[in-house]
Each structure stands twice: as C-alpha cells, then as structure tokens.
Structure 1
Amino acid sequence: MGIKLKLLTFFVITSFWAKAQLSGNYTIGGSSPNYSTFTAAVNSLNNLGISGNVVFNVAAATYNENIVINNFAGNSTYSVTFKSTNNDSTSVILSYPSGTSATNNYTVKFNQAKNIYFQSMTLQRAGVDDYSTVVEIANSSTKLNFKSLIIKNNSTASAGDYSSLVIGKNTNLSNLSNFNFSNNRFENGTYGIFLQGLSSGTLANNLSINNNLFSNQYRTTIYAAYQNSPVINNNLISSSSTYYNFHSIDFLYCNSGVEIIGNQFNLNSGEAIYIVNSQGSGGANGMIFNNFIALSGNNSNAMTLSNSGSFHIYFNSINMYGGTATGCLFTGSNTMHNYFANNILNSPTSAKLMLVSSTTTTPFDYCDYNDYKTAGYIGDWKTSTNISSLATWKSTSNVDAFSISANPNFISNTNLHIQSSAVQRAGTSALTSPSISVDFDGKNRHYINPDMGAHELSFDDLKITKSLLEDQMCISKNYSLKITIKNISNHNFSIVNLPVYYKFKGNIISELKNISNLSPNDSIEYIFLTKINASPVGNYNVSTWLSLTMDANPSNDSSFKNIMISPNPVINMPIDTSICAGNSVTLSPGTAYDAFLWSTGDTTSFITLDTSAYGIGGKFISVTVTKFGCQSKDSTLVVFKNCTGFEENYNFQKTQIYPNPTTNFININCNNGIKEFEIRDISGKVLINKSKIHENIDVSALEKGIYFVILYGNNSVFNSIFIKQ
C-alpha cells in the first residue's frame, strides 16, 4: 500500500511539472535542444502559457515550417523573444514555401498574440507562387516587435496583397496596434508592410517603422491606414518598380502627429510620399522633415497631399532627374494650414516642381525659403499653369518671398548631400513648431540661417590665429592688444556682435566685433578698445578668446600670450659740466643696459666730447638707455668756455648766483668785493657790463639760452653760468 501511494504521488508531481508554464531561456535546434523545431516551441507556448519572460535561442539552421502564435496565458504581463543564438540574421532561416491559395499563406502568423519579439533571423517564403505572405498579423494582435530581421519572398511583379511581406488587416472590432519594426531588411513583395486599422473613427496606435532597408517592393513599400501618429523614420527605400500606381509611403486617414523624417527614397516611378485624408489635430501637426527623395522615372511624384492638412514640411531634398515628374502636389479642399519651408526641389530635366490644384483654397499658412531649380516649370498655382520663372511664381502665389533658384550641387542624382551652393545659409530658423534642429545625418543645424534641404553642409568655425602684444612691457604704459580671426568655415561668414574677450590679471574684458561676408580662409584683425595697463612689475599671461554659438571646433577659439612687465631703467648721468677749450670730457650713464642712443647719434656706452666738434659754448647732451625693452632718457649740459679772455681765480668763496635757471632777474651774493661784473653769451660777446652790482640784475631782455657771469675783484676773477628760460 505504501509503495502504491508513493508511485501515485510521483506520477502526479511529474504530470504537474510537465505542464508547468514556461519561464526563462530555452533552445531550439542544435545539440540537445529544449525543442527541435519552432513548431514544438510554439505549441508549448500556446498550450502552457508563460509565468515569466521567455527567450528562445535558436541554433543556426534552416527550419522549413510555419507557425501560429496565439493568445496564451501570461502574455499580458511577460514577453517572448525568438532570436538567433549567434545574433546573425542570416544563420537562422525560418522558411515556408509559397502556395497557390490563401490557405496557410504565412510563415509566421500572429493570432491575438501579444508581447512577442523576433530578432536577428530570416523569415521568408521560398518558391515563386503568388501566395507568399511572410508575416500575417490578425485578430487584435498587439505589442509585436521585429528587430534585425531579413523578411523576404520572391514576388517581384504581383499586385495582390497576398504577396505582401507583412500584412495586418482588422477583421473584428478591435484594432491592430503597437507594432515596432527596426533595423530590418525587407526584400521584394507586393507590399513591404501593409497595416490597416479599424476605421477613420477608430484609429490604431503606436506604429513605428524606423531604420529599415526596403528594396524592390512592387506596389507599395509601406501602407498604413487608419493610424494615429504613425512614425516612419530613417528608412532607406529603393525600388525599380514600374507599377502604374506605385507608392512608397502611402497614408490613408493617418492623423495627429504623423512623422516621416530622415528617409531616403531612390525610386523609378510612382509616389514617394502619398498622404490622403490625413490631418494634424489637437496641436499635433504632421512632420515631414529631412527626407532625400530621388526620382528617375517619368510621371512620378515626390509628394502628394490630398485633402490633408496641418503638415509641417521642412528641410526636404527632392531631385527629379528622369523627365516629366512632379515635385509636390497639393490638392483637395481640405488641404490647408500646411507649412512648407527650407526645401530643395531640383530637376535638371523638364519636371514641374510645384502643383497647387485649383481645388485648394489656402493650402499654406506659410511657404517660403525654398529652392526651386528646374529646366522645366516652377509649377502651377491653381488656374495659373506652367509658371516658368520664380518671379512670376512669387507674384502669382503671394508666397515664397525669400525663396531662391539655385543649383544645389547634389553629390549625385541619388546622393542628395549638397556641395558648395547658394542654398548654404539661405534657409530660416524662424519656423513654426514643430520643427527640427538636426539634419539628415544628425548634425546640428545653424540656429539662425540653416542650409536649405535635408543636408546641413555649412559649419561655422572661427579661429584666433594669433594675438599681437608686446612681449616686453614697461611699467605704467598702456598697450594695445590685437587679435587675428580666421574664417575656417566652408562658407562666407557674417555675424553681428561676435563676443571677443581677453583676460589679464584676473580681469576679463568683453567687447563685440561685427564680421561681414568674410570668405573662407580669409582673416580680419580686431584691436581691443580697452588697452592693457602695464602694472605692476612681473610676469603674466594674457588670454584671448571668442564665443561663437555652434562653433564646429571650439578648441581653436583661444590664444595665450606670455608677457613681462619691467621697470624703467635708472640713469646715472653726471651733473652739468663746464670745461675750458682744448680740454675734453667723457660722459657715461653706466653700462648695465641693453642699448644706448646718444643725441649725437652714438650707440656706445660712453662718449668723449671736446671743442673740436662743438666749439665754444654750451650744449645739452642726452642719452636714451634701454633695458628689457624699457627706456629712460636723461641729459646734461656741457659748457666749453674760452678761458683765454680771463683767468679764473677761486678767491671768490661762497659766491651764489640765483635763481638758476631764471626768466627775469638774477641775484649775486659774494663775500669778496666786486669791482666789476659782465654777462657774456656763449660766443664770448659782452652783453652787460656793470661796475656796481644791484640786488636784482635784470636779464629779461636776453634771449633764452646759456650765459656766462664773470666777476672781477682785487687780483681775482670768478666765472659761472646761468640759463635764461
């Protein structure tokens, strides 16, 4: 009895474990897998459900089967991921042959499924039969994520939706919502992605198609109907389809904040962007920004808005190089409140750039700063057709006042990055929101005058190439600081009130410089109005810099200069000297200087003077000395006297002549008796002779200069000089 009870308990527990919900990591294929096929793994999901997040790591192989993922227990809370073990999307291939009927027309079908991820593998239909849908989404499936997949079939000329790569149609009252496609490659198919919500009154939500590669769809690349705020960004779409009604992005009743941003279209024919009955609402405007659209075929359109309004269409580059194409078509009475700016519409052939139908009333709230360049017609404005000149277009439409007609110089017909062109800095940043501040490549746009089109070629870069300032400064002097600014930008540069600065001893000086149309690699100079006062003595750094918003290379915006402030040198010149003719005198300020410049023109540290060069009389001799770039100047009076006319005797003691220099009078004080005195000029000519000395001797009538005073006493003579000012 005990043994039977134990066996019964074992079987019950074993049975419970065998039917436990899935949770954690499992393997499909390979050596000793949890499941040998996708079908086995999906059956466990559908039958048991999950109690935690589940990841199926799939071994590299081709799995020839198709699967249906249903609504299983736990999928509202937890997710299930199917991914290749080695993260190589080419190594795991889930394949199912194409068929001749709608029965089992899928490789993967989602039936009320939710929270499912497929990642890093190939999903495909093999064979060439028409019924070749790869992924079918049905019955209110939601929260499906497709990442880094290759999704393909072999259908290249079928127009039926049964050959779609991904298709989802509502067949009940619940919407298909919350789908994310990122970093996938879609090859062939009638439709790349076909997703249809419930109705114009009940829109599906959260459709995101980003960073995918679509190639060679025959009828439509992306069809989205009855969607709320779908996001189609950064996809590369190419097609050589000749289908008469080919659409690349086809929106029907897609409202409230539609995003079509950063996509690249290389198409043979048809429509790149086709939007019907779609409106921005509640302040959520449609956004069509930064798209490259290249059309090579006839009868193709870059963009159509039919009964669709409140779209902001900014910074798109359109090139129609195949003949009779149309750039942008606006038609229908509900096409209104659109904003169209900073776009390039170019055609080297006979394409018509703009077609505004007479069925519209006021299609634009704003239309300006666009580039229209064509060998054909600018376009039609309602009943005015085949407008050939931009001037006529402006006057007829009353829009595009600041638009231009310039060759954008695209790199090629399909690579719509611009080269040097008049569209650079020709756009406007004064755009009604929502707008965009980066270009096709994610580079920041200029905050005032961006380039037209999806590519921002221009960049701003100013460089301070040098600061000009004396290396050696002298105490208490003022010095001008000059900087040289070079335009390293790839366009002519203009700015009002560029802030420029310098810093000295911790003090920052800020000034403003205007630059007008400075060509690339040209330079201008700026001298700061506020000079540098050299004080006190010492070594210092002077830094200069500029402040340019959105500078491409801020590292070259500054410059540094080392300076030394030195004291003025002290000169030790002798006092005034008086010598007799025939003698010489040597003058020297000292030797501790870097340079000398005498008033005689000599540059030695001393000079020797005599009457052979200067004759009788007085002469001021000056010298300028330099030390560390600083200069000082001093002078002395050297008087050469004719001593033969009188003999000087030094019995006159404590004799004073004052004031000296003088302007009007001199006084002579002497302790010896004076019989006579004379005043002579430097040539020896007697100008005043008196036998009696008054207290004040009037010399006001004398010219400015140097004069001798000679005093005669008993057996003695005294002579001196004074200066008349």
Structure 2
Amino acid sequence: MINKNILLLILLFFTFFKSVDTLAFDIGVVDATAMDSVDCTGDLSNLSIVVENFGTQQVDSFYVYINVNGTLVDSTSIVQSITAGQQLNISLGNYSVFSLPENMISLSTGLPNATLDVQTSNDQYVLYTYSRLSGIYTIGCSTCDFSTVNDAFDHLNDYGVCGPTTFNIEDGIYNTSQLNLSSYVGMSAANPVVFQSTSQDSSAVTLEIYSSPSLVFNAVSNITFRKIKVDPYAGSIGIQLKNVSNFTIENCWIRDAELQTGYAGTGPSFHDVRILNNNFTDGSLLKLGGNSSATLNTNGLVEVVNNRFHNSKMRFILMKDLLIEGNYIDYPTDNHTLDVMTCLNSIITKNNIESSSDLSLYMVGCSNIEVTNNFLRGDGNVIYISNSDTINIVNNSMYQYDADNDIGEAFHFQSSSKIDFINNMVLSQEYGNLFFLSDTSMINPHHNMYYSPSDSLVKYNWSEIYVNYQDWTGSYQKDSSSWNLNPNYISPIDLHIYNHVIANGSAYSYPGIIEDFDGEPRNPLEFDIGADEIDLDYTTLRDIAFISTAEPSNSSCLQADSIQLLVANYSTFQIDSFALVIHSFGTQSSVIWNYTSLPAGDTVLVNMGKYNFSPNTRYDLTMTLALPNGEFDNYTLNNEGSVVYQYLGEPNIQVSTITDCISDVELSVPHQEYSTLNWSTGATSSIITVSPPGVWTVSLTDLNGCVVNKSITLN
C-alpha cells in the first residue's frame, strides 16, 4: 500500500510545476487593428497586434497566427524580448484585403519561448473588415454573400464600391421592409451597379415590400435594376426615383404599383433614365416628371421603350427630350391611357395604344412633339390636344370604335396652333365628327385617308359649324391629296394593312421618317399612308371592277326586273363570290351576294338577281362591288357605279266632275318627274277640261324617248 504522505508529495509536485509553468510563459493578445477597415478587394491593408506578457518570465520568441473566415492564412514567428507585464505593438505587415464583403480576422498567439502556452483564454483577438464591393455577389441563400436584399442595400450604402458590381438574387419571394439606396462611395460611370435575378426570370424573384414607397433610389447614378418582380401592396408606390441619373429599369415586372419619380420643386428630379422592356400589369402606373411646383426636366433624354402595359398606363409631366417608343399599352377600364403634359422636344413613336374608354393620347401644354408611326385605338377621343403648339401627327394608323353607341369626335384639338396632320389613316365606327377644332387655322392636314359612317368630317368653333368631306377639301381647301376610303385594317386590334393599293405610294415623303411601325424601312419613292409601310403582292391582290350596268338601262323601254352588271376581275386568280351594296338616294337599301365565278382577267356579265322596280318611280342608285371571295377589295376606286332609272308605266287617268258645270269634266294624270306629257287635245298640262262624249288620249315621254299612251272613252 502506498503511503498517504507519498501521494500527498506527488500531488504537491505536479501542482507546483503546473503553477510555475503557467506563471512563467503566458503570452496574450490585448488589441489588434486593421489600418484600413474598409477598402477595395486586392488593396493592401496593414495588420497590427498588441501583445502582453502575462507570465512571470521573460519571453524572447512566440508565434502569431492569422485566420480569416476560419481558415489559417499565415503564421509569423516574432523574435523579440518582452519582460513580464510588458506590452508590445507589433506590425504584422501588409495583407491583401479579403474578397468577402465582411471578413472575420482572428489573430492569436502561441508557443512562447517554444513551449506550450497553457493559459489560452487570452491568446485570441477577433476583428472584422468590410470590403468595398467589386465583382459578382449573390443574395438570398445560406451560402450567399448576403442573406437578404436589405443586407446588400445596407452594405452598398455603408461601404460603397471599388469597381463594376453585380448582385444576383436567388429565386424566391422576399418579404422585406423598405429598400433605400442613397449616394455611396465609389459611385461613378466606371463602377456601374446591377441588381438582377440569378435565373434571368422576372417572375422568379419577387420583392413583396409592404411599405410605400417600396424601393427608393435617391441621388444615385449608374444603376441597373433588371428582371425582378416588384409586387407591393395594392396601388402603392413600388419604385421611386429621386434625383437619379444614368438609371435603367429593364425586363422587370411591376404589378399593381407605381413607378414614379420623386418630385423636386426647385429643379430637375432625374435625367438619363431608361425604362426598357418591362411588364406593367394590374393597374400599374408609370408616372415620370414633376408637379405644379417643379421645373421642367432639362438634363437629358428619358427613354421609355418596348414596355408592355396591360390594364396599366403612363403619365409624363414637365418633361423634355422624352422618347416613348415601341410600347404596347391597353387600359380598358379607365381613360387617359397616355398623358403627356407640359412637355417639350419629345417623340412618341411606334407605340400600340388602346383605350376602351376615352383619350388614348392626351396632350396639354406641350410644344415640339412628334407623334409618328403609332397604332392608336379608342372609344371616344383617340387624340386630345389643348394649349399646345408645333405638334406633328404623321403616319399613324388610328381606329375609333363605338363600344357604347355614343357620338363623339376621334380628334379634339382646341386652343392650339401649328398641328401637322399628315399621312394618317383613320377608321371610325362612330356617327359623330372625326374632328372637333376650336379654329380651323390650327391644323395643316394633307395626304390622309378617312373613313366614317358620318357625313360630317369636322365640327369647328364652339358654335358647332359642321363641314363634310367635300366642303372640307373644297371650299375650306384642307386635306389636299387625301382620300375618303376605308383603310381595311386587318382587324380592329391589328391595324396593319395588306395590299392596300391606294395607301401604297400615296403619302407625302415626310422628312425624318425612315421606318414604319414595325421598324421596316420606308420606301422614299412609294411612301405609304398610315403607320404600316407595305409592299404589294400581286399574286394575292384582290381587285374586281364595276364596268357598267346592263340592266336596269334607260336605253331600253322595257320594264327592268333585275340587276345585271358587267364586272371585271383584275386579280391574278379566280373570284368565286362577291357582294353588291346598293344605295338608293344615298341610303343603303340592300346587299346582294353573287356566286358567279369570275376567271382571272375576264370581264363577265353577271345577273345579280331580281329587283323590284316599281313603275313611274325614279331610282337614283349607287352600286358598289365589295368582298371578293369574302375579303376586302385591295383597290376600291373601280368598285362603284351609278345609274338613274325610271320606267314609265301606263298613266292612270282620273275623271272628276266640275261642281258648277253639269256637262264638263276634268281629266288628270299624276305628274311624272323627268317626263313630258301630251294630250290628244294638244294640251301639255296634267289636268284638262273636256266635254263628253268622246275619246281622249294622253302620252308620256321620258328623257330617253320612251313613250307610253293611255286612252279614256267618256259617253
């Protein structure tokens, strides 16, 4: 058995040596610094460390270990004497700034005098460095550079950039508080910043931000926001731009929200802004510009190009150098689809705009605006212009449909001047005027094509003076080289035209317009009316022509009972059906379909069938061929013919007694217009007095020499 005293001595021995070792060699870290805690990746930053000898013996050497983000990157042997209780500031040298936005640097000491440092609790010191950004960073996953979009915005706000920077946001729905980006370090054209969906799909990354405004960009430049869905709570401000420049929003989905500029009362709020290829849906509004207290934006082009607005609309106020191009806009539940107010030197081109309520294009207080190559559709005013000047409306295709059976003008122009209305194609379904003009001198129209069911083309002055097409082009000397013809759009939705012979080459070659709605080149030698420049395809061109009327014919004294026409087929293929539209005294009376085959290039006598011609009735007929093979005729100037026809039937002689004369009677026949009358007595009046008995005969002769006789015998 071991003696208890021996065990006690052994225990005291180990305790003594442990105490002596701890007290003898204990080196620890008191402080550490990175001389540049915020710097650019790749730049050198000086690391320094303050160590203290916590032991009782002098330390002549020890190691410093440098760990970054959990990985040992360096170990340094320090050979320098430190007496007990002494502190020493040691520079570890320059190290390249580490690549992560946030870096954890752990500095620790060990092996004092090449022995174990058993008191390790004071060996380590941790500090953090934050890099200015440059390169590609990820957001939204456990291994990403930033866990949330807020973290990325905060880091950019706090530390800035050193070079071009891209944030790729992983797929998902991000419920977050307001995102606010303000001016940051390193912001320049050389250091653009991009926020985008990693998958390049705007429906895959959704920012659901339940505050208004949701995203605020304030005093920043050279930013691109790409392929992200912004879906805040209904009707709020989704994105607000305040004092931004060189800013692009592209291929994003803006749902039920406003994308707007913060108004600046003392100066321009933004410039060089591009809104490109975005999808605005569910009542969204793009609202750029100032308010009544702001000044005109004069600092650079603002482009709104190739966006889709479904049940959404646009509004621009106090803008200059604005380009609105290639957008599709439909807003079926409200008016004012596109508002342009107090704007200057701007272009509206190649847009497809529809409003099923009113006011497809609303323009007030503007100057020097080009409206070219657009498809414009609306129920009510297609274009409304007030208090504006130098507005050039050129080569547009426009359609006014009548959804609510009202009467309204397609174009309402008031209190304005210098409006060029040139090369436009207009089809209206409403029975109102095409134009309201407060003064006819404001407009310079020519080389247009109009078609409307109304006889009135223009109403002008507030006293409601109505002018038809003939007087407008005649006594008013407006719309020279214009046409009163149906544009025959492909459909009410698609305002392209096909093989329209009259529109082809009939326009004025307007300076500066070198493309059409689709971006296809204009032919300067055959400049077309409307937004769609066409090339005729004669292999599919439909053209039937009205040559003459064979029956009814005034050259025959026989009563007509049918309509027979001489019809030519100028198409390059056979026509198997067509319609004959008959107007009597200007009012459509009937439509007759015929299914006689017309070979290409032939002229054929076609019997259109029975027609009830009453005797002693004058017919002033206008007959128009239409719809060859059920499609519109590509050349309509040869479709129409007219005939004036009257068949003299046997006159009805009426006998009347004369009250104050027992023996004499009056003979009378109804007056027949466009004919002469002769009695056997030599009288030419429609009423004669005779004394029976006897036989009396009356003769009627029409303008073509046809004669009918009727006799009466009185006993």
Q: Does 1:289 align with 2:372?
A: yes
When Rg is computed on C-alpha atoms for both structures, the one with the higher figure is 1
Distance 1:386 1:426, change over 3 A: farther
Q: Which amino acid aligns with 2:270?
A: L
2:151 counterpart of 1:68:
no
Indicate how the Cα distance of structure 1 residues 193 and 313 shifts in structure 2: closer, same or farther if over 3 A, else same.
same
**CA distance in structure 2 between the aligned counterparts of 1:7 and 1:443, rounded to whole angstroms:** 69
Change (3 A) 1:234 1:90: same
**Cα separation, 1, equivalents of 2:249 and 2:393:** 29
Partner secondary structure for residue 250 of structure 1: strand
Residue in 1 that maps onto 2:517: 440
CA contact (8 A) 2:268 2:296 kept: no
DSSP-derived class of the 1:170 partner: coil
* Aligned counterpart, 1:152: 255
Per the TM alignment, residue 439 of structure 1 is displaced from its structure 2 partner at its CA by 1.7
* Residue 350 of structure 1: aligned partner: 431
1:174 shift after superposition: 4.4
Is contact 1:428–1:448 with CA below 8 Å preserved after alignment? no
| Kept in 1: contact 2:447–2:508 (CA 8 A) | no
- Identity between Structure 1 and Structure 2 (%): 24
SS of match in other structure, 2:163: strand
Structure 1 383/173 Cα, relative in aligned 2: closer, same or farther at 3 Å? closer
The residue number in structure 2 matching 1:327 is 410
Partner of 1:105: 212
Q: Choose from 279, 283, 298 the match for 2:367.
A: 279
Q: Give 1:427 shift.
A: 2.8
Cα offset, 1:255, TM superposition: 0.8
Pairing 1:417–2:496 present: yes
Aligned to 2:203: 90
> Structure 1 363/17 Cα, relative in aligned 2: closer, same or farther at 3 Å?
farther
| 1:83 maps to amino acid | Q
Distance in 1 between residues matched to 2:527 and 2:463, nearest whole Å? 32
What's the CA shift string for 1:619-654, capped at 9, x where partnerless?
A: xxxxxxxxxxxxxxxxxxxxxxxxxxxxxxxxxxxx
Paired with 1:55 and 1:12, the residues of 2 have a C-alpha distance of 22
- Aligned residue for 2:240? 136
Preserved CA contact (<8 Å) 2:489 2:495 = yes
Contact 1:408 1:423 in 2 (8 A): no
Residue 192, structure 1, aligned to residue 286, structure 2 = yes
Task: Give the unaligned 5+ runs of structure 2.
Answer: 1-50, 52-61, 65-87, 98-102, 106-126, 544-568, 574-599, 602-715
Matched, 1:216 2:323: no
The alignment yields a C-alpha RMSD, in angstroms, of: 3.0
Distance 1:519 1:384, change over 3 A: farther
Q: Distance in 2 between matches of 1:21 and 1:223?
A: 38
Alignment of 1:6-25 (within 5 A): 18-25=129-136
Q: Is the 8 A contact 2:304 2:323 kept in 1?
A: yes
Gap change, CA 1:381 and 1:40, over 3 Å in 2 = same
Q: Note if contact 1:390-1:404 (Cα within 8 Å) is conserved in structure 2.
A: no
For the residues of structure 1 that align with 2:268 and 2:429, how far apart are their CA atoms?
Answer: 49
Aligned equivalent of 1:303, options 337, 361, 383: 383
2:193 is the alignment partner of 1:80: yes
* Secondary structure of the structure 2 residue equivalent to 1:430: coil
Distance 1:208 1:455 in 2: 23
Secondary structure of 1:310's counterpart equals: strand
Q: Does 1:254 align with 2:343?
A: yes
Runs of 5+ unmatched residues, structure 1: 98-103, 154-162, 281-285, 462-486, 493-517, 525-725
Shift of residue 5, structure 1, vs aligned partner: 4.0
Q: Which residue of 2 aligns with 1:544?
A: none
Cα distance in 2 for partners of 1:86, 1:201 equals 39
Q: How far apart are residue 189 of structure 1 and its match?
A: 3.6
| Alpha-carbon displacement from aligned partner over 1:443-490 (angstroms, at most 9, x marks no partner) | 23332333321122333x7xxxxxxxxxxxxxxxxxxxxxxxxx6584
What CA distance in whole angstroms lies between the structure 1 residues aligned with 2:143 and 2:474? 77
Number of the residue aligned with 1:509: none
- Higher alpha-carbon deviation: 246-255 or 232-241: 246-255
1:389 corresponds in structure 2 to: 468
3-state SS, counterpart of residue 133 of structure 1: strand
- Aligned residue in 1 for 2:228: 121
Partner-residue secondary structure (3-state), 1:44 = helix
Q: 1:378 aligns with which of 446, 451, 457?
A: 457
Equivalent-residue separation in structure 1 for 2:381 and 2:268 (angstroms):
35
Residue 454 (1) aligns with residue 531 (2): yes
Alignment partners' CA distance in 2, 1:173 and 1:321: 42
Report SS of the residue matched to 1:393.
helix
Q: Distance in 1 between matches of 2:472 and 2:500?
A: 22
2:160 corresponds, among 22, 37, 49, to 49
Report the CA distance shift for 1:73/1:490 in structure 2 as closer, same or farther (over 3 A): farther
Task: Say which SS state the counterpart of residue 303 (structure 2) adopts.
Answer: strand
The aligned counterpart of 1:267 is 355
Amino acid at match of 1:406: L
Alpha-carbon displacement from aligned partner over 1:401-439 (angstroms, at most 9, x marks no partner)? 2111111112222221124546422632332x33x1222
Give the C-alpha shift of residue 212 in structure 1: 0.4
Q: Name the CA shift for 1:357/1:422 in 2 (closer, same or farther; >3 Å).
A: farther
Residue 368 of structure 1 corresponds to 446
Q: CA deviation at 1:30?
A: 2.9
- Pair 12,79 (structure 1): closer, same or farther in 2 beyond 3 Å: closer
2:425/2:448 contact within 8 Å kept: yes
Is the CA contact 1:144–1:179 (under 8 Å) kept in the aligned structure 2? yes
Which of 311, 316, 325 in structure 2 is aligned with 1:233?
A: 325
- Between 436-445 and 55-64, the greater mean CA deviation after superposition: 436-445
Give the SS at the match of 1:81. strand
Give the superposition deviation at 1:44. 0.7
- Kindly provide the amino acid, as one letter, of the partner of residue 408 in structure 2: A
Instruction: Label 1:166 to 1:491 Cα distance change in 2 as closer, same or farther (>3 A).
Output: farther
Q: CA-to-partner distance for each residue in 1:343-372, whole Å, 9 max, x for gaps?
A: 1121123142112113x7x323x4201111
Of 169, 187, 207, the residue aligned with 1:58 is: 169
* SS of residue paired to 2:367: coil
For the residue of structure 2 that corresponds to 1:118, the secondary structure is strand
Given the alignment of the two structures, is residue 403 of structure 1 paired with residue 491 of structure 2, yes or no? no
Q: Answer yes or no: is the 8 Å Cα contact 2:268–2:295 preserved in 1.
A: no
2:423–2:508 CA contact under 8 A, matched in 1: no
Going from structure 1 to structure 2, the CA distance change for 1:491 and 1:230 (only over 3 Å counts) comes to farther
- Give the AA of the match of 1:94: L
| Residues 94-143 of structure 1: CA deviation (Å, up to 9, x unaligned) | 1113xxxxxx41221111121111111211114x4x5x1101122x1222
Following superposition, the deviation at residue 200 of structure 1 comes to 5.0
Q: For 1:330 and 1:192, how far apart are their aligned partners in 2? A: 25
Q: Go from structure 1 to structure 2 and tell me whether the alpha carbon gap of 1:388 and 1:336 turns closer, same or farther (over 3 Å shift).
A: closer
Query: 1:231 and 1:118 mapped to 2: Cα distance?
Result: 20
* Matches for 1:642-681 after TM superposition, within 5 Å: none
* Whole-angstrom distance in 1 between the partners of 2:96 and 2:522: 69
Amino acid in the other structure paired with 1:73: V
Between the aligned partners of 1:201 and 1:191, the Cα distance in structure 2 is 21
Letter in 2 for 1:347: S
